[in-house]
Amino acid sequence: MNYISRNLETVVKQVTKEYPVVLVTGPRQVGKTTMLQKLMEGTDRGYVSLDDLNDRSLAKNDPELFLQLHKPPVLIDEVQYAPELFTYIKIYADSHHEPGAFWLTGSQVFKLMRGVQESLAGRVAVLSMTSLTQAEICGSEMTPFDINLEALMMREKKRTPADTSEIFERIYRGSMPAIASGQNSNSQIFYSSYLSTYIERDVKQLSDAIDSLKFLRFITAVAARCSQMLNVSDIAQDADINQKQAKDWLQILETLGIIFYLHPYSNHLLKRLIKTPRLYFYDTGLVCHLTRWSSAEVLESGAMNGAILENYVVAEIAKTYMNSGKEPYMYYYRDKDAREIDIILEHDGILNPIEIKKTSNPGTELTKIFALLDKASVPRGKGAVVCMKPKVGVIDRENYVIPVWVI
């Protein structure tokens, strides 16, 4: 298995010099431990995993003794299993003032992990890791996605070009390191195992009352609605559960870093009646497995091709930020007349509107909708259509054409 370099490595090295605790969170199998163990090579940092039930028991029942046995500098894997450790890590950090004493990983989203924020506030650098980006898979340098013509043309030179068929092959294959590195050649077998081992086990850890078959029906119903506005009632009906269960289980998928939401953009000058978020998966390979597409070719011509393409683009843009240690400020726009803009990126005091289309010849009709943002209190910057065109181009002075593979 070939190791794939991660963009987050540089950020980990930097914050290790500044914070006593570095916490890398994200779903299972996205490469958190592999990356940190690679960075540990040649150092005296120890390693312990709380997947080991004996170590987990000691960490929970006698955290002080656990830290005496596993002295810093140390990497503690799957720390969410023993929140009892956090208080003792805080005590050590406050008394020793030792940068990089603890590296922690957790298979839950930080803001939803119990106990960390209260115990380690101000002492911990929190980094979110997702599955691989296109750039990481093809070994290219990656920066957060930005609609700047010079930056886009530089980005284009460092990417691996892909036509429509190859883009849908990337979507179908997914972005998990085990697939991208060649460790597992059959993505569908991988995702079947991923569901039955990791997700099911972690789901039961968060809620042991969950029926496995019902949860599989539920996550399949969620996948079938990727890139759509969240409709809890429809999901619950398809999964044969009540709406409270559906909300609780959606919270679990978000906690495990499987799904995320884009919330509607608004400010005091834009009237917004739509408050419902849109739902996306970080990894489209899992969506394709759950929705039972047999190949990339069938997917490309299938009924969900537009929705899954949108999911892929939204997730790729989000991942370029998260895997660089940054927070993506991404929204969508929809007004009472059902006029929509797929993505709004907000940064440096401007709004960049983005449309996503499975076309190779976008025209000005696709960018007229961007004028809706002119009423916002934040100025509108350059817009873009992300599509299947083979090269970066322009529609006019204010709007660019960006191939999917350039993200």
What is residue 219's predicted lDDT score, i.e. its pLDDT? 95
Q: How far is CA 168 from the centre of its chain?
A: 19
- In whole angstroms, what is the distance from residue 283 CA to residue 256 CA? 13
Q: Are strands 278-281 and 46-49 parallel, antiparallel or unpaired?
A: unpaired
| H runs (alpha helix) in 126-280 | 134-137, 149-157, 164-173, 177-180, 187-194, 200-206, 212-223, 232-239, 243-255
What is residue 319's predicted lDDT score, i.e. its pLDDT? 96
Read off the pLDDT band of 110 (50, 70, 90). Answer: low
Backbone angles phi and psi of 175, in degrees to 5: -130, 25
- In whole angstroms, what is the distance from residue 153 CA to residue 391 CA? 9
| Percent of the chain whose pLDDT exceeds 70 | 96
**pLDDT at position 40 over 90:** yes
pTM of the model: 0.92
Model confidence pLDDT, tens digit, residues 69-91: 999 999 999 998 999 999 999 99
